[in-house]
Amino acid sequence: MPSEIEWLWMPGYTGEAWNVITGCTKISPGCANCYAERMAIRFKRDGGSYLPGKAEINFHPERMDYPARWRQPRMIFMNSVSDIFHDEVSDAQIDAMLAVVFRNPRHIFLALTKRPQRMVEYFGEWAWQQDNTRDRIEDRVRDAGSLAPMVWPLPNLWMGVSVENQHFADERIPLLNQVPAVIRWLSVEPLLGAINWGDLLTSVDWFVIGGESGPKARPMHPNWVGEGITAADAHSIPVFFKQWGEHRPWVDVLDEGKNRKVVEVKYKRSRHPYGWKMVKVGKGEAGASLSMAGFLEDVRQDWPEYGLRYGM
């Protein structure tokens, strides 16, 4: 089933999620409203009632050959309802997934993690110089009948980390820079606070940013978005602004006199003066127009290597 994730639909590619691993556990504030852990919890019978047990991380070997079956080029999000570098995913399972990436060069695979420490450990043994990782993956590829030499970093594997605030931007992006990748990308979604980007973006190639959707979504201050886009622009990094999320900025002509649910989101601390009125209208109506915040109308990022032209 093609994916509904907008940023997977690059020109010439069909967007797809490849969920060989399902299930996850929450690790940081960006996870608060994620359903992956909830879906993974198995309920255990206890007398007359059912009690929640541990979330189960499952590996689905029967899904390993899906990319080989997809004939047309796809942008494939690896494990959209899990984390490829979760502690309970074994090195051998990661090896096996990367072997599939290697054997299917017509597709682009996107790995995304909130656990970059594990990612660094996985590649850290690494790899192309030190043997362990490379040998393990090469063995699997050979087992599958391919004798083609491997090229590192894999040209069709984009490595990404997800960051939601200053703390995790500072922690995760430098770790992303330590792993081999042709493209390093950030998912800044849901963006939950102001981030001083400083030099964090110097090795980043692509930037996806957006607000939170769902019934318990937290609003995103427009200046947080603006600063992210401005920082990306300063480094010539293409930006994909995915969505405002459940809340969009208040717009007089749209909202005056209407019975809207309004929340004020502060730029930083609750007593910080720069609040912005946000209106809860639902993800569909909120859309992804930056001009709603009254600025950034002219931002436009191109990514000619991938045929991209993002109009903001």
Question: Count of residues binding ligand SF4 (CB under 6 A)?
Answer: 11
Q: Which stretch binds ligand SF4 (CB under 6 A): 25-33, 99-107, 120-128, 243-251?
A: 25-33
Residue 173, interface with ligand SF4 (CB under 6 A)? no
Residue 221, interface with ligand SF4 (CB under 6 A)? no
For residue 256, what are the CA distances in angstroms to 145, 208, 289? 65, 31, 19
Which residues ranging from 28 to 47 are in contact with ligand SF4 (CB under 6 A)?
30-31, 34, 36-37
Residue 82, interface with ligand SF4 (CB under 6 A)? yes
Nearest approach in angstroms of CB 284 to ligand SF4 is 22
Q: Can you list the positions of beta strands (E) in 13-57?
A: 14-18, 21-22, 41-46, 49-55
Distance CA(81)–CA(18), nearest Å, equals 9
* CB closer to ligand SF4, 27 vs 64: 27
Q: Pairing between strand 206-210 and 239-243?
A: parallel
Nearest approach in angstroms of CB 257 to ligand SF4 is 38
Q: Tokens 């007089």 appear where?
A: 252
Distance CA(219)–CA(200), nearest Å, equals 24
Which residues ranging from 277 to 296 are in contact with ligand SF4 (CB under 6 A)?
none
Nearest approach in angstroms of CB 80 to ligand SF4 is 8
Residue 114, interface with ligand SF4 (CB under 6 A)? yes
Backbone angles phi, psi at 276, to 5 degrees: -135, 135
Q: Which stretch binds ligand SF4 (CB under 6 A): 21-29, 58-66, 179-187, 286-294?
A: 21-29
For residue 229, what are the CA distances in angstroms to 222, 265, 292, 312? 11, 19, 15, 10
Residue 26, interface with ligand SF4 (CB under 6 A)? yes
Nearest approach in angstroms of CB 231 to ligand SF4 is 23
Nearest approach in angstroms of CB 243 to ligand SF4 is 16
Residue 24, interface with ligand SF4 (CB under 6 A)? yes
Q: Which stretch binds ligand SF4 (CB under 6 A): 22-30, 169-177, 214-222, 233-241?
A: 22-30
* CB closer to ligand SF4, 21 vs 296: 21
Residue 83, interface with ligand SF4 (CB under 6 A)? yes
108, 114, 117, 118 alpha-carbon torsion, rounded to 10°:
-60
Q: Pairing between strand 41-46 and 157-162?
A: unpaired
Distance CA(223)–CA(246), nearest Å, equals 17
Amino acid, single-letter form, for residue 284: G
* CB closer to ligand SF4, 87 vs 135: 87
Task: Determine how many CB atoms are found less than 10 A away from the CB of residue 107.
Answer: 22
For residue 191, what are the CA distances in angstroms to 52, 168, 271? 30, 11, 20
Q: State the residues that interact with ligand SF4 by CB under 6 A.
A: 24, 26-27, 30-31, 34, 36-37, 82-83, 114
